[in-house]
Amino acid sequence: SNDPLVIFTPSGKRGHFPVGTPVLTAARQLGVDLDSVCGGRGICSKCQITPSYGEFPKHGVTVAKDALSDWNSVEQRYDDKRGLKTGRRLGCQAQVQGDIVIDVPETSQVHKQVVRKRVEARDITLNPSTKLFYVEVEQPDMHEPSGDLERLVRALRTEWDLPELFADLDLLKTLQPILRKGEWKVTCAVHLEDRRIMQIWPGFYEGSIFGLAVDLGSTTIAGHLCDLATGEVVASSGIMNPQIRFGEDLMSRVSYSMMNPGGADEMTAAVRDGMNELFAQIAEEAGITQDLIMDAVFVCNPVMHHLFLGIDPFELGQAPFALATSEALNLRAAELGLALHPAARVYLLPCIAGHVGADAAAVALSEAPGKSEDLVLVVDVGTNAEILLGNREKVLACSSPTGPAFEGAQISSGQRAAPGAIERVEIDPMTKEPRFRVIGSDIWSDEDGFADAIADTGVTGICGSGIIEMVAEMRLAGLLDGPGLIGSSEQTGTTRCFLDGRTYSYMVWDDPERPITVTNRDIREIQMAKAALYSGARLLMDKFGVDSVDRVVLAGAFGAHISPKHAMVLGMIPDAPLDMVTSAGNAAGTGARIALLNTKARREIEQTVHNIHKIETAIEPRFQEHFVNASNIPNAVEPFPILNT
């Protein structure tokens, strides 16, 4: 062809186009991912590109200085108003004049990569449910009697290739004045999955639209507000789950609903109120109004799932633990009483089984064990541990009732992770003296300046990761035997071990006002929690037919803070090389964010969940057996060879 050659980077897509073709047109014809909200009218500036000049031996072209048309008045106007970065051009205005190499910067790509993970098979690209479209609508005409909505829908179809769209009454009520105010030029927010026009603005709307990813936990509710056009998290916030007053753990909430008529409804109202409080908080932090939030994704365990939806969780309290539905749900925010955009949609990830919820599905979406070459164990540590084991061949899942001990509950000096809480511990094996660090300070207790460092907070207690290190260090220092008994001062050689009722306790911090000790009951609680976690993992390994795993991923807000070495000393997780134990942070929250920002990921996880084999720990005799053995520290029968190296 004699027409100029146009090459796009980084995609490498290329083709010949007649002189005078706008770059945006060429990009569209080649399927290059170049954004546009205004449809090439020089208003939105989403289509920015960077032309490259000179020799490109790799591509076999030389790009002359005049390979693109000069700045036109539209670009000039845009530059005067807002400034176009050096070297940038508006793709809808610049026209092809000769062979050219054009780079599409990441900010101009619709499907940019938004969630990057360290240990992951792939990046997540942006593909949101709701997008903005600018259109010019035909004016009404006496000779062609059609409604304003019909002409708007037609404009969206012909200009943007959108399917037949619908509108709610709320939108219809605003439609006519807005069309006229904008002189028939409007910006629409369209929910593509729902095929609904969510909102319209006169002229070109400069603002953003938002989505919420919500991790609805039994203890805390955390929300992340994302800009749907960039994928960025613009605000995050969390609150305590107000259902706590009905019961600390899930089963006590289920029994509350069984004992009290109307109890389930009370808890539903409480969690929805809490949610709205959280949304208000997040919107304020981001400086937006709540009605700009058009889409929301929720992940939660099965009991929270039912209580949030207003379904009595009765059946989840007894075998065979049947869910009302395990499928993903697409609902309207309004029917759940959520104060978001009036037409906002809510997506709930599918549940895996009666005890393994949408939170575990979110972890599966984020950590993708089914895409892993090696055998990976993913443990989401919370009041209930969600455990996944798998590789490309298959994925197994179960949940295990660890209880709230890892969150510092039911531990005599236990507390939630907050400034003043002990989070890191070392015990000298010779002197049996402890040293520790508290949250909010990076000075160890035996270092100069510790008193100053904690002047504001004091030492208030021990948080979950702190108690794990504490117990493991006590075992390593010989203060504690395998079955979990703290020795006397004679046996251990330290007066820090003292008789406390019928068993011994270990004095960590002998502040007379607020002494911090570890009692033998505390040790028992941790033994139960870690034994539940380990036996769940071990049961999955039995079912998989393996004795070891290649790597372990610790997930959950709390999981991120656990030291792999101490978890292993405790026998909380199966033996694996220490450098193969990594932390994934809040994987359920990440999974929610992925599902919010990429609607294709929703289809993917719906498919994946169907292929996960669920194991019910409660009915497995092997679980009890593993549990008994795992009560020992690290374990009565399992070898932990890694600890001897």
The contact set with ligand FES (CB under 6 A) reads 24, 36-38, 40, 42-47, 90-92
In terms of CB distance, is 187 or 243 closer to ligand FES? Answer: 187
Kindly state the smallest distance separating residue 299's Cβ from ligand FES, in Å.
35
Kindly state the smallest distance separating residue 126's Cβ from ligand FES, in Å.
18
Dihedral pair phi/psi, residue 346, rounded to 5°: -125, 130
Would you say 135 and 152 are in contact if contact means Cβ atoms under 8 Å apart? yes
In this structure, which amino acid lies at residue 202?
A: P
In terms of CB distance, is 92 or 569 closer to ligand FES? Answer: 92
Kindly state the smallest distance separating residue 354's Cβ from ligand FES, in Å.
50
From the centroid of its chain, how far is CA 478? 40
Would you say 19 and 4 are in contact if contact means Cβ atoms under 8 Å apart? yes
Kindly state the smallest distance separating residue 47's Cβ from ligand FES, in Å.
4
Give Cβ neighbours of residue 524 (< 8 Å, ≥ 6 apart): 484
Kindly state the smallest distance separating residue 87's Cβ from ligand FES, in Å.
16
Quickly list H helices, 499-630: 520-544, 564-570, 587-597, 599-610, 621-630
In terms of CB distance, is 187 or 598 closer to ligand FES? Answer: 187
Would you say 554 and 582 are in contact if contact means Cβ atoms under 8 Å apart? yes
Strand 395-400 vs strand 612-614: parallel, antiparallel, or unpaired? parallel
Dihedral pair phi/psi, residue 563, rounded to 5°: -80, 125
Residue nearest to ligand FES (CB): 92
In terms of CB distance, is 90 or 293 closer to ligand FES? Answer: 90
In terms of CB distance, is 92 or 549 closer to ligand FES? Answer: 92
Which of 452, 550, 466 lies closest to 508, judged by CA?
A: 466
Give Cβ neighbours of residue 245 (< 8 Å, ≥ 6 apart): 270
Quickly list H helices, 68-124: 73-82
Dihedral pair phi/psi, residue 425, rounded to 5°: -140, 140
Which of 262, 222, 260 lies closest to 241, judged by CA?
A: 222
Kindly state the smallest distance separating residue 99's Cβ from ligand FES, in Å.
22
| Longest distance between any two alpha carbons in the chain, whole Å | 103
In terms of CB distance, is 36 or 326 closer to ligand FES? Answer: 36
Kindly state the smallest distance separating residue 181's Cβ from ligand FES, in Å.
21
**Structure token digits, residue 58:** 């790799």
Strand pairing partners for 144? 141
Please compute, for residue 199, the number of CA atoms within 13 A of its CA located in the half-sphere on the CB side. Answer: 20
Coil/strand/helix, residue 8:
strand
Residues 209 and 136: their CA atoms lie apart, in Å, by: 20
Would you say 182 and 203 are in contact if contact means Cβ atoms under 8 Å apart? yes
Kindly state the smallest distance separating residue 40's Cβ from ligand FES, in Å.
5
In terms of CB distance, is 34 or 569 closer to ligand FES? Answer: 34
In terms of CB distance, is 47 or 149 closer to ligand FES? Answer: 47
Kindly state the smallest distance separating residue 170's Cβ from ligand FES, in Å.
28
**Number of residues written out for the chain:** 645
Kindly state the smallest distance separating residue 25's Cβ from ligand FES, in Å.
11
Which of 310, 216, 304 lies closest to 253, judged by CA?
A: 304
Kindly state the smallest distance separating residue 443's Cβ from ligand FES, in Å.
54
* CA distances for 437 relative to 410, 445, 446, 510, angstroms: 22, 6, 9, 15
In terms of CB distance, is 92 or 425 closer to ligand FES? Answer: 92
Which of 21, 29, 27 lies closest to 3, judged by CA?
A: 21
Quickly list H helices, 83-213: 148-160, 169-181
In terms of CB distance, is 158 or 611 closer to ligand FES? Answer: 158
Would you say 253 and 243 are in contact if contact means Cβ atoms under 8 Å apart? yes
Kindly state the smallest distance separating residue 95's Cβ from ligand FES, in Å.
13
In terms of CB distance, is 88 or 437 closer to ligand FES? Answer: 88
**Structure token digits, residue 185:** 């030029």
In terms of CB distance, is 45 or 527 closer to ligand FES? Answer: 45
From the centroid of its chain, how far is CA 371? 18
Kindly state the smallest distance separating residue 50's Cβ from ligand FES, in Å.
14
In terms of CB distance, is 134 or 210 closer to ligand FES? Answer: 134
